[in-house]
Amino acid sequence: MAEIEAALMDIIKEHAVGLTDELTRETEINALGIDSFSVVEIIYEVEERLGVEVPFNANENPFGDMKTVGDLIDALNKLIKK
């Protein structure tokens, strides 16, 4: 699990233009400055690096009701367990 968390944080850091502090599970998604193009890139990288298919609909908010990086990590862990 820690390996997945570290990999996802690395991917997010590569695309976070609004990040001014250290990235943690408590970091709010809206503070990252991630645009819709970056979301697609992040999803692609997650699928490639971690070997998990991430359901994605470009017409919906890909973060749903997720507020923090920890929420994203937890959602990814649930996908991997399936």
| 67: amino acid identity, one letter | K
Residue of 81, 7, 13 whose CA lies nearest to 50: 7
- CATH code for position 27: 1.10.1200.10
User: Which has more pLDDT, 38 or 36?
Assistant: 38
Q: What is the domain range of residue 72?
A: 2-81
**pLDDT recorded at residue 24:** 93
Residues 6+ apart with CB under 8 A from 75: 66
Task: Indicate the number of domains in the chain.
Answer: 1
> What local confidence, expressed as pLDDT, does residue 58 receive?
62
Quote the pTM value. Answer: 0.79
Burial of 38 (0-12, 13-18, 19+ CB in 10 A): middle
